[in-house]
Structure 1
Amino acid sequence: MKFWVLLLLLSGAAQAAPDQPPAVAPHQQDLSSVRKEISTLKKDIAQKEAIRKEAQSAIRESEQALQATRQALNQLDSKQQISSRKLAALQSQLQDTHDNALDLKSRIASILQRQHRGGSHDAMRLMLNQADPNQSSRDLAYYRYIAQAQQGLIQRLSVQESELQALAAQVAQELEKLGLQSHRQESQQERLAREKATQEQQASALASEIRNKQGTLSKLQQDEKRLSSLIAQINRQIAAQRQATARKKAEERKARALARKQENERRRKLAADARSQGKTLPAEATRPLKEEAVEAVADASSSGKAFRSLQGRMQMPVSGNIAGRYGSSRPEGSSWKGLFIRTNPGQSVRAVADGTVVYADALRGFGNAVIVDHGGNYMTVYTGLGTISRGSGQAVRGGDTLGNTGALDSGESGLYFELRYMGRPINPQSWMR
């Protein structure tokens, strides 16, 4: 039947050859290998998930820092606007004061010019020309008062202009300081934005890697479920086959025992009848009684010596390049359990030794597959075939064509070849020339 292929591949015999380790539930070892990969992948995903959470936390911190920087920039911008308005007002006042001082100076100059042209600029002359000394005294006092008032006003305007210039310089200095602070904040904002972009890229890459590994994990878990189901089905078939064989052998033993008993009883009766009649015993009554025969004896196949004699002299099943060696890492993170021989599609795949095909069909995850039982608990596995030319149950000899090369389900073109003992993979290269 179709799944009988893994009868020895996964469950093996009860005893191992003297130079092989004891067989301890080989199918459990296969499951253990898958589960170990699943456990390793889960740990890797958990670690990357923790790193992703740290990256997200860093992104939140960067966002908070950026928000604080934006708020600081907004505050600085408000201060700059206030200071700019203040500076503009001071500059306007300064200009008004400057204009007032110029206007006052112009008026004083105009008065002086009129006095000069009218001859009234000489106070002594004005006093001598006056008939009334009191009036002359009052006029002189009036001129002095006007001169002093104008001079005082000019001085106050000059002081106010100086104060306004100092305030304007102070405000301009404050604006320059605010500009430097804004520049620093903007530089910090750009740096934080770059850091956040880098963190987001890293987080995105981690999320993508986690998704990919979760997909691989899901596939491994599905493979584990299928393998467990297949093993359970094979074990049930093995148990049923063993029970049927045991029943048949028991029935045969019972039939032989009954026949032997009946024959022995017949002979005793013949002997008893001959003695009672005083006759000579028949020849068949004098022959020894039949005993249970040994049905099977130990041979080369029981220890696998016939197949083991090929160790070191076996040839490859197909020509090509060895792209994956036993025990080396595979791209998805697991390791090769056999040899991956890269070759062009359509190359003939040949049996490495005599045996019986126990599986010839598609095997999910491996493409088309052929498994050959060589006896002695040894099997060879050929996967990634494009076509299969042998059917389950057919006997093959070394060098017979099993099919042509194709590709694995992963898309890798070539042949994946395993050698198994007691259901466990062993290094095929140690058997090759």
Structure 2
Amino acid sequence: MSGYLLLNQAYAQQKPPAEQELQQVQSQIKKTEQQLRQQRRQLQQAEQKLQQADQALADASLKVRQTSTRKQQLEQESAKLTLQQQQLQQQLAEQQQLLAAQLKSAYSMGQHDYSRLLLNQQDTGQLERILTYYQYFNQARMRQLAKINQTVQDLELVVAKLAEQQRLLQRELQALEQQQQQLTVARASQQDSIKQLQALLTEQGNQLSYLRQNEGSLQNTINELRRLAELSKDMAGLGAGKGKYPWPVKGQLLQRFGQNRQGGMPARGILIKGVNGSNVQAITEGRVIYADWLKGYGWVIVLDHGAGFMSLYGHNQTLLKQPGDRVTAGEAIALVGASGGQADAGLYFEIREKGEAVNPLLWLARP
């Protein structure tokens, strides 16, 4: 009996090859699933870091633009005050010359011996004329002195305002320098996040899957926006200007419509090389119906032009408009950047007709 038990134990320890292979497969499946979960977590972390870096860069860029605009306004105000100061100084010099001329005339009249004329009662008409002249010159001198005093006071106010403007300008310049440093740090952080994401995608071999996810995310967003776009009855669409619209940015065409992107997916728009921080302009009038960060496309702004037409601007550094804003043709709506995972600065541009992507080059004027 004891020998039978030992035989069963030995059999149990030596499982059939099929069972051993099954266990190995199951173990490998679990290991693979763990690796996939880890890869997904790494990819999500990389995407979150990229979004945070894009957000920091967008905030810094917007602050730089606002401070630069404020600096320009202060410089214009300072220039106006400087011109006003010069004009007041010129007025003061003219008033002083006029007062000197009046004093010279009064001195000349004084040569007639005013006291002797008062005692001389023979020519009362001449006396009355002299008194009138003296009264006129005295009043003129008083008015001129009042003008000079007022001009001096105005000049002092302008000089004080100019000094205050210069102080504010200096403060804005210091803030601008600090923001430029923050912008540099944010841009470096963004580039590091982009490299990390691209390296991770290359390592995992998920470029195609990633692009498909991004494309699906964009298409879902466009489908949601179509309902909003159909509400615009006051705009005529893009049909009338086909082939004549200005480019949203001036630059080299890096990717054409339909051209295979990395991973083999056809492009639904075009990619235009741009300069970091330069203006992205609306191709024509429209209404902002989307302005937010979108996976794979970074900071995206979408304009509704009516009649089912929309234009989309992606990979921006920062957005200058909000949903609901009306924009005019050529108005700056964003700044060129490399958000959403781009290695270099550029603008991704699409035109959609009733939700379907169309070739933008057929609508834009020849460069």
TM range (shorter): 0.3 to 0.5
Rg larger for: 1
TM value normalised by structure 2? 0.47
TM value normalised by structure 1? 0.40
Q: Which fold has the larger relative contact order, with Cα–Cα distance below 8 Å and residues 6 or more apart in sequence?
A: 1
